[in-house]
Structure 1
Amino acid sequence: MSDAPLPDPAHERLTRLWQAQRPAGPVLPWDLKTTYGNRWVRFHSLPESKRYADDEAEYAVLLDRYNTVLDELFADGEVYVVTIDWTDPAETADSPEWTVLRRALHPAGTLWTVLDEASDPGPDQLWYFYADRRPWVRGCLDPLLRAAADAALSGVLVTDPNLTRIHHAYDGGADVILPTPGERDRLRDRHTAWLSAHPSGY
Protein backbone atom coordinates (compact mmCIF):
# COMPACT_ATOMS: atom_id res chain seq x y z
CA MET A 1 0.00 0.00 0.00
CA SER A 2 2.96 2.29 0.48
CA ASP A 3 3.48 2.28 -3.30
CA ALA A 4 -0.16 3.08 -4.13
CA PRO A 5 -0.56 4.67 -7.58
CA LEU A 6 -1.68 8.23 -8.05
CA PRO A 7 -5.45 8.80 -8.18
CA ASP A 8 -7.02 8.16 -11.59
CA PRO A 9 -7.75 11.47 -13.42
CA ALA A 10 -10.89 9.84 -14.86
CA HIS A 11 -12.44 10.10 -11.40
CA GLU A 12 -11.95 13.87 -11.05
CA ARG A 13 -15.64 14.48 -11.78
CA LEU A 14 -16.62 12.18 -8.93
CA THR A 15 -14.29 14.09 -6.60
CA ARG A 16 -15.82 17.43 -7.60
CA LEU A 17 -19.32 16.09 -6.96
CA TRP A 18 -18.36 14.81 -3.51
CA GLN A 19 -16.69 18.10 -2.61
CA ALA A 20 -19.83 20.00 -3.61
CA GLN A 21 -21.91 18.08 -1.07
CA ARG A 22 -23.01 19.81 2.11
CA PRO A 23 -21.27 18.78 4.27
CA ALA A 24 -18.46 18.14 1.86
CA GLY A 25 -17.32 14.63 1.06
CA PRO A 26 -16.08 12.10 0.44
CA VAL A 27 -16.72 10.48 3.79
CA LEU A 28 -16.03 7.04 5.16
CA PRO A 29 -19.03 4.80 4.44
CA TRP A 30 -20.03 4.26 8.06
CA ASP A 31 -20.32 8.05 8.47
CA LEU A 32 -23.06 8.33 5.84
CA LYS A 33 -25.85 7.83 8.37
CA THR A 34 -24.74 10.81 10.44
CA THR A 35 -23.43 13.02 7.63
CA TYR A 36 -26.67 12.73 5.62
CA GLY A 37 -29.00 11.61 8.40
CA ASN A 38 -32.11 13.39 7.10
CA ARG A 39 -31.89 11.44 3.82
CA TRP A 40 -30.69 8.11 5.22
CA VAL A 41 -32.39 4.75 5.69
CA ARG A 42 -30.97 1.39 6.73
CA PHE A 43 -32.26 -1.95 5.46
CA HIS A 44 -31.31 -5.20 7.16
CA SER A 45 -30.15 -7.94 4.83
CA LEU A 46 -31.76 -10.91 6.60
CA PRO A 47 -35.02 -11.53 8.50
CA GLU A 48 -35.09 -10.74 12.22
CA SER A 49 -31.99 -8.58 11.75
CA LYS A 50 -29.73 -11.61 11.51
CA ARG A 51 -26.25 -10.40 10.64
CA TYR A 52 -24.60 -13.24 8.71
CA ALA A 53 -25.87 -15.88 6.29
CA ASP A 54 -25.39 -19.52 7.30
CA ASP A 55 -26.34 -21.21 4.02
CA GLU A 56 -27.03 -20.58 0.35
CA ALA A 57 -30.73 -19.97 0.97
CA GLU A 58 -29.86 -17.07 3.28
CA TYR A 59 -27.30 -15.73 0.81
CA ALA A 60 -30.07 -15.74 -1.80
CA VAL A 61 -32.27 -13.68 0.52
CA LEU A 62 -29.63 -11.05 1.25
CA LEU A 63 -28.57 -10.76 -2.38
CA ASP A 64 -32.19 -10.35 -3.41
CA ARG A 65 -32.65 -7.56 -0.86
CA TYR A 66 -29.48 -5.78 -1.98
CA ASN A 67 -30.36 -6.10 -5.66
CA THR A 68 -33.98 -5.08 -5.21
CA VAL A 69 -32.99 -1.77 -3.66
CA LEU A 70 -30.14 -1.26 -6.14
CA ASP A 71 -32.60 -1.84 -8.99
CA GLU A 72 -34.94 0.78 -7.57
CA LEU A 73 -32.09 3.26 -7.29
CA PHE A 74 -30.17 2.63 -10.51
CA ALA A 75 -32.21 0.64 -13.08
CA ASP A 76 -31.38 1.50 -16.70
CA GLY A 77 -28.53 3.78 -15.64
CA GLU A 78 -24.82 3.80 -14.95
CA VAL A 79 -23.15 3.62 -11.56
CA TYR A 80 -19.85 4.18 -9.88
CA VAL A 81 -18.76 1.13 -7.89
CA VAL A 82 -16.38 1.98 -5.06
CA THR A 83 -14.40 -0.42 -2.88
CA ILE A 84 -12.11 0.50 -0.02
CA ASP A 85 -8.78 -0.58 1.38
CA TRP A 86 -7.09 0.78 4.47
CA THR A 87 -3.61 0.71 5.86
CA ASP A 88 -2.41 1.06 9.40
CA PRO A 89 0.96 2.85 9.54
CA ALA A 90 1.96 0.51 12.33
CA GLU A 91 1.60 -2.50 10.03
CA THR A 92 4.29 -3.49 7.54
CA ALA A 93 2.37 -5.94 5.29
CA ASP A 94 1.76 -4.50 1.83
CA SER A 95 -0.98 -6.93 0.77
CA PRO A 96 -3.24 -7.97 3.65
CA GLU A 97 -6.01 -10.44 2.95
CA TRP A 98 -8.69 -7.82 2.30
CA THR A 99 -6.44 -6.14 -0.30
CA VAL A 100 -5.95 -9.39 -2.21
CA LEU A 101 -9.69 -10.08 -2.16
CA ARG A 102 -10.63 -6.55 -3.17
CA ARG A 103 -8.30 -6.69 -6.16
CA ALA A 104 -9.71 -10.06 -7.19
CA LEU A 105 -13.35 -8.98 -6.91
CA HIS A 106 -12.94 -5.44 -8.23
CA PRO A 107 -10.22 -5.64 -10.90
CA ALA A 108 -11.64 -2.66 -12.81
CA GLY A 109 -11.34 -0.40 -9.78
CA THR A 110 -8.63 2.23 -10.07
CA LEU A 111 -7.48 4.50 -7.26
CA TRP A 112 -9.88 7.39 -6.91
CA THR A 113 -8.90 9.14 -3.68
CA VAL A 114 -7.19 8.69 -0.31
CA LEU A 115 -8.61 9.80 3.03
CA ASP A 116 -6.46 10.37 6.07
CA GLU A 117 -8.34 9.48 9.25
CA ALA A 118 -6.86 11.22 12.25
CA SER A 119 -6.23 8.99 15.25
CA ASP A 120 -5.16 10.45 18.54
CA PRO A 121 -2.92 9.18 19.96
CA GLY A 122 -1.00 7.28 17.33
CA PRO A 123 -0.42 7.49 13.57
CA ASP A 124 -3.31 8.16 11.24
CA GLN A 125 -4.94 5.44 9.15
CA LEU A 126 -5.12 5.90 5.40
CA TRP A 127 -8.22 4.80 3.47
CA TYR A 128 -7.90 4.10 -0.26
CA PHE A 129 -11.01 4.38 -2.44
CA TYR A 130 -11.05 2.48 -5.77
CA ALA A 131 -13.74 3.16 -8.36
CA ASP A 132 -15.01 2.14 -11.75
CA ARG A 133 -18.03 3.23 -13.79
CA ARG A 134 -20.33 0.70 -15.45
CA PRO A 135 -23.95 0.10 -16.51
CA TRP A 136 -26.08 -1.18 -13.66
CA VAL A 137 -27.31 -4.74 -14.28
CA ARG A 138 -29.02 -6.72 -11.55
CA GLY A 139 -26.60 -9.29 -10.19
CA CYS A 140 -23.47 -7.68 -11.61
CA LEU A 141 -22.10 -6.99 -8.12
CA ASP A 142 -23.13 -10.23 -6.43
CA PRO A 143 -19.56 -11.40 -5.63
CA LEU A 144 -18.73 -8.01 -4.11
CA LEU A 145 -22.03 -7.84 -2.23
CA ARG A 146 -21.54 -11.33 -0.86
CA ALA A 147 -18.04 -10.46 0.35
CA ALA A 148 -19.37 -7.29 1.98
CA ALA A 149 -22.10 -9.35 3.68
CA ASP A 150 -19.39 -11.62 5.10
CA ALA A 151 -17.36 -8.62 6.35
CA ALA A 152 -14.55 -9.76 4.05
CA LEU A 153 -14.44 -6.25 2.54
CA SER A 154 -14.86 -2.81 4.12
CA GLY A 155 -18.21 -2.47 2.39
CA VAL A 156 -19.16 -1.61 -1.17
CA LEU A 157 -20.41 1.81 -2.25
CA VAL A 158 -22.60 2.27 -5.33
CA THR A 159 -23.69 5.70 -6.56
CA ASP A 160 -25.25 7.18 -9.68
CA PRO A 161 -22.97 9.37 -11.84
CA ASN A 162 -24.43 12.56 -10.33
CA LEU A 163 -23.96 11.35 -6.76
CA THR A 164 -27.60 11.83 -5.81
CA ARG A 165 -28.18 8.27 -4.59
CA ILE A 166 -25.72 6.19 -2.55
CA HIS A 167 -25.96 2.55 -1.51
CA HIS A 168 -23.48 1.14 1.02
CA ALA A 169 -23.62 -2.63 1.55
CA TYR A 170 -21.92 -4.19 4.57
CA ASP A 171 -22.32 -7.12 6.93
CA GLY A 172 -25.89 -7.02 8.22
CA GLY A 173 -27.47 -4.62 5.79
CA ALA A 174 -27.17 -1.51 3.66
CA ASP A 175 -27.27 2.23 4.25
CA VAL A 176 -29.03 4.20 1.52
CA ILE A 177 -28.88 7.95 0.91
CA LEU A 178 -31.59 9.53 -1.27
CA PRO A 179 -31.75 13.04 -2.78
CA THR A 180 -34.57 14.21 -0.47
CA PRO A 181 -36.24 13.09 2.75
CA GLY A 182 -39.44 12.47 0.78
CA GLU A 183 -37.75 10.04 -1.60
CA ARG A 184 -36.12 8.34 1.38
CA ASP A 185 -39.52 7.93 3.01
CA ARG A 186 -41.07 6.40 -0.10
CA LEU A 187 -38.25 3.87 -0.46
CA ARG A 188 -38.41 3.05 3.24
CA ASP A 189 -42.17 2.55 3.09
CA ARG A 190 -41.85 0.03 0.24
CA HIS A 191 -39.64 -2.22 2.37
CA THR A 192 -40.88 -1.84 5.94
CA ALA A 193 -40.23 -5.53 6.69
CA TRP A 194 -36.50 -4.92 6.19
CA LEU A 195 -36.22 -2.06 8.69
CA SER A 196 -34.66 -2.14 12.14
CA ALA A 197 -37.02 -2.32 15.08
CA HIS A 198 -34.80 0.16 16.91
CA PRO A 199 -36.34 3.67 17.12
CA SER A 200 -33.19 5.22 15.63
CA GLY A 201 -33.34 2.98 12.57
CA TYR A 202 -30.00 1.37 13.43
Structure 2
Amino acid sequence: MKNILILSILLLGTISQTNAQLKLRTPEGKIVLLFDNGTWKYEEIKNVEKPVAQIKSAEEIAKPLVIIDTELESQTVIKGISEKLNKFSDTNNQVKADFQIISIEGKVILKTNWKIMDAEGFRFFGFITKKSKMLFSLSNGESIELQYAEDFEPKEYPKYKFTTFAAELELNEDQIRKLQNAYLEKVEMYWSRRTESYEIFNPDYFVKELPKIIK
Protein backbone atom coordinates (compact mmCIF):
# COMPACT_ATOMS: atom_id res chain seq x y z
CA MET A 1 0.00 0.00 0.00
CA LYS A 2 2.87 2.35 0.90
CA ASN A 3 4.60 1.56 -2.38
CA ILE A 4 1.44 2.41 -4.31
CA LEU A 5 1.12 5.73 -2.46
CA ILE A 6 4.77 6.57 -3.08
CA LEU A 7 4.42 5.66 -6.76
CA SER A 8 1.34 7.87 -7.06
CA ILE A 9 3.21 10.81 -5.56
CA LEU A 10 6.14 10.18 -7.88
CA LEU A 11 3.85 10.25 -10.89
CA LEU A 12 1.84 13.29 -9.89
CA GLY A 13 4.15 15.34 -7.70
CA THR A 14 7.34 17.36 -8.09
CA ILE A 15 10.60 15.71 -6.99
CA SER A 16 13.76 17.22 -5.50
CA GLN A 17 16.78 15.55 -3.91
CA THR A 18 17.88 16.22 -0.32
CA ASN A 19 20.73 14.72 1.74
CA ALA A 20 19.50 11.14 2.32
CA GLN A 21 15.98 11.28 0.99
CA LEU A 22 13.69 12.39 -1.78
CA LYS A 23 11.54 15.44 -1.25
CA LEU A 24 8.29 15.52 -3.22
CA ARG A 25 5.58 18.11 -3.58
CA THR A 26 2.08 16.71 -4.08
CA PRO A 27 -0.44 18.41 -6.41
CA GLU A 28 -2.08 19.81 -3.24
CA GLY A 29 1.16 21.53 -2.27
CA LYS A 30 2.15 19.25 0.64
CA ILE A 31 5.79 18.19 1.00
CA VAL A 32 6.46 14.43 1.37
CA LEU A 33 9.86 13.10 2.54
CA LEU A 34 10.90 9.63 1.29
CA PHE A 35 13.70 7.91 3.24
CA ASP A 36 16.20 5.25 2.10
CA ASN A 37 14.52 2.57 4.23
CA GLY A 38 11.26 2.95 2.31
CA THR A 39 9.40 4.98 4.94
CA TRP A 40 7.89 8.40 4.34
CA LYS A 41 6.32 11.31 6.20
CA TYR A 42 4.93 14.77 5.56
CA GLU A 43 7.40 17.59 6.13
CA GLU A 44 6.64 19.59 9.26
CA ILE A 45 5.84 23.23 8.66
CA LYS A 46 7.70 25.49 11.05
CA ASN A 47 6.00 28.75 11.94
CA VAL A 48 8.36 31.70 11.65
CA GLU A 49 7.49 34.37 14.19
CA LYS A 50 7.47 37.87 12.77
CA PRO A 51 8.76 40.75 14.89
CA VAL A 52 5.88 42.56 16.59
CA ALA A 53 5.73 46.35 16.76
CA GLN A 54 6.03 47.85 20.23
CA ILE A 55 2.90 49.44 21.72
CA LYS A 56 3.38 53.09 22.62
CA SER A 57 2.92 54.33 26.17
CA ALA A 58 -0.55 55.34 27.39
CA GLU A 59 0.65 58.95 27.67
CA GLU A 60 1.79 58.95 24.04
CA ILE A 61 -1.48 57.46 22.77
CA ALA A 62 -3.53 59.95 24.82
CA LYS A 63 -1.96 62.99 23.12
CA PRO A 64 -4.21 65.09 20.84
CA LEU A 65 -4.51 63.55 17.39
CA VAL A 66 -3.28 65.61 14.47
CA ILE A 67 -4.06 63.64 11.33
CA ILE A 68 -1.92 64.11 8.23
CA ASP A 69 -3.06 63.37 4.69
CA THR A 70 -1.54 60.11 3.48
CA GLU A 71 -2.31 56.80 1.81
CA LEU A 72 -0.68 53.72 3.33
CA GLU A 73 0.09 50.45 1.57
CA SER A 74 -2.42 47.62 1.59
CA GLN A 75 -1.54 44.69 3.88
CA THR A 76 -3.10 41.31 4.63
CA VAL A 77 -4.52 41.42 8.17
CA ILE A 78 -7.02 38.54 8.28
CA LYS A 79 -6.39 35.07 6.89
CA GLY A 80 -8.26 32.06 8.17
CA ILE A 81 -10.44 29.06 7.48
CA SER A 82 -14.13 29.57 6.84
CA GLU A 83 -16.20 27.11 8.87
CA LYS A 84 -18.82 27.07 6.12
CA LEU A 85 -16.42 26.60 3.19
CA ASN A 86 -14.47 23.97 5.11
CA LYS A 87 -17.53 21.69 4.94
CA PHE A 88 -17.17 21.52 1.16
CA SER A 89 -13.41 21.67 0.55
CA ASP A 90 -10.17 21.03 2.42
CA THR A 91 -8.24 23.37 0.14
CA ASN A 92 -10.56 26.13 -1.13
CA ASN A 93 -11.78 27.10 2.32
CA GLN A 94 -9.92 30.29 3.10
CA VAL A 95 -11.08 33.85 3.79
CA LYS A 96 -8.60 36.70 3.52
CA ALA A 97 -8.87 40.45 4.10
CA ASP A 98 -6.41 43.16 3.08
CA PHE A 99 -6.60 46.48 4.92
CA GLN A 100 -5.53 49.91 3.73
CA ILE A 101 -5.62 53.15 5.73
CA ILE A 102 -6.23 56.43 3.92
CA SER A 103 -6.37 59.74 5.80
CA ILE A 104 -7.61 62.91 4.16
CA GLU A 105 -8.85 66.21 5.59
CA GLY A 106 -8.91 64.82 9.12
CA LYS A 107 -10.90 61.70 8.20
CA VAL A 108 -9.38 58.23 8.59
CA ILE A 109 -10.78 55.65 6.18
CA LEU A 110 -10.15 51.92 6.56
CA LYS A 111 -10.54 50.11 3.26
CA THR A 112 -11.16 46.37 3.57
CA ASN A 113 -10.76 44.07 0.59
CA TRP A 114 -12.15 40.62 1.41
CA LYS A 115 -11.39 37.56 -0.71
CA ILE A 116 -13.42 34.37 -0.29
CA MET A 117 -12.30 31.16 -2.00
CA ASP A 118 -15.70 30.37 -3.47
CA ALA A 119 -16.93 31.27 -6.95
CA GLU A 120 -20.38 32.17 -5.61
CA GLY A 121 -19.58 33.84 -2.31
CA PHE A 122 -22.97 35.55 -2.18
CA ARG A 123 -24.86 32.29 -1.63
CA PHE A 124 -23.07 31.68 1.69
CA PHE A 125 -22.10 35.16 2.85
CA GLY A 126 -24.53 37.57 1.21
CA PHE A 127 -23.53 41.24 1.22
CA ILE A 128 -21.62 43.62 3.42
CA THR A 129 -24.42 45.93 4.62
CA LYS A 130 -24.93 48.77 7.09
CA LYS A 131 -25.55 46.08 9.71
CA SER A 132 -22.25 44.34 8.95
CA LYS A 133 -19.33 44.79 11.31
CA MET A 134 -15.98 43.41 12.42
CA LEU A 135 -15.67 42.59 16.11
CA PHE A 136 -12.01 42.30 17.12
CA SER A 137 -10.77 40.60 20.27
CA LEU A 138 -7.72 42.49 21.57
CA SER A 139 -4.65 41.33 23.48
CA ASN A 140 -5.52 43.48 26.51
CA GLY A 141 -8.79 41.60 27.06
CA GLU A 142 -10.96 44.26 25.46
CA SER A 143 -12.83 44.20 22.16
CA ILE A 144 -13.57 46.78 19.50
CA GLU A 145 -16.40 46.95 16.99
CA LEU A 146 -15.86 48.45 13.55
CA GLN A 147 -19.20 49.07 11.85
CA TYR A 148 -19.72 49.47 8.12
CA ALA A 149 -21.84 52.50 7.17
CA GLU A 150 -22.86 51.54 3.63
CA ASP A 151 -23.95 48.51 1.59
CA PHE A 152 -21.38 46.79 -0.62
CA GLU A 153 -22.06 44.08 -3.20
CA PRO A 154 -19.68 41.17 -3.85
CA LYS A 155 -17.87 40.65 -7.13
CA GLU A 156 -17.72 37.01 -8.20
CA TYR A 157 -15.03 35.42 -10.37
CA PRO A 158 -16.38 31.99 -11.44
CA LYS A 159 -13.39 31.31 -13.70
CA TYR A 160 -10.93 31.71 -10.82
CA LYS A 161 -13.26 30.35 -8.12
CA PHE A 162 -13.23 33.25 -5.69
CA THR A 163 -15.35 36.24 -4.65
CA THR A 164 -14.24 39.68 -3.46
CA PHE A 165 -15.94 42.26 -1.25
CA ALA A 166 -14.46 45.78 -1.44
CA ALA A 167 -15.80 47.88 1.43
CA GLU A 168 -14.73 50.72 3.70
CA LEU A 169 -15.53 52.41 7.00
CA GLU A 170 -14.39 55.46 8.94
CA LEU A 171 -12.35 55.25 12.15
CA ASN A 172 -13.10 57.76 14.91
CA GLU A 173 -10.60 59.10 17.48
CA ASP A 174 -11.61 56.64 20.21
CA GLN A 175 -11.14 53.71 17.83
CA ILE A 176 -7.77 55.02 16.65
CA ARG A 177 -6.52 55.24 20.25
CA LYS A 178 -7.91 51.84 21.21
CA LEU A 179 -6.43 50.09 18.17
CA GLN A 180 -2.98 51.50 18.98
CA ASN A 181 -3.19 50.18 22.54
CA ALA A 182 -3.38 46.40 21.86
CA TYR A 183 -2.73 43.68 19.31
CA LEU A 184 -5.46 41.97 17.29
CA GLU A 185 -6.16 38.39 18.36
CA LYS A 186 -9.31 37.26 16.56
CA VAL A 187 -12.12 38.74 14.51
CA GLU A 188 -15.80 37.98 14.09
CA MET A 189 -17.16 39.14 10.75
CA TYR A 190 -20.88 39.81 10.54
CA TRP A 191 -21.88 39.17 6.92
CA SER A 192 -25.52 39.65 5.91
CA ARG A 193 -26.07 35.86 5.78
CA ARG A 194 -23.80 34.55 8.55
CA THR A 195 -21.23 35.39 11.20
CA GLU A 196 -17.83 33.70 11.20
CA SER A 197 -14.63 33.93 13.25
CA TYR A 198 -11.25 34.18 11.52
CA GLU A 199 -7.60 34.09 12.55
CA ILE A 200 -5.46 37.22 12.50
CA PHE A 201 -2.47 37.15 10.15
CA ASN A 202 -1.06 40.57 11.06
CA PRO A 203 -1.75 41.18 14.79
CA ASP A 204 0.22 44.42 15.12
CA TYR A 205 -1.20 46.03 11.97
CA PHE A 206 -2.86 49.00 13.66
CA VAL A 207 -0.07 49.38 16.25
CA LYS A 208 2.51 49.95 13.52
CA GLU A 209 0.35 51.63 10.84
CA LEU A 210 -1.80 54.18 12.69
CA PRO A 211 1.19 56.22 14.00
CA LYS A 212 2.12 56.84 10.34
CA ILE A 213 -0.97 59.03 9.86
CA ILE A 214 -0.47 61.02 13.07
CA LYS A 215 1.75 64.11 13.16
- Name the TM-score, length of structure 1 as normaliser: 0.29
Which protein has greater RCO, CA pairs closer than 8 Å, 6+ apart? 1
The answer to which structure has the higher helix fraction is: 1
Greater Rg by CA: 2
- Name the TM-score, length of structure 2 as normaliser: 0.28
The answer to which structure has the higher strand fraction is: 2
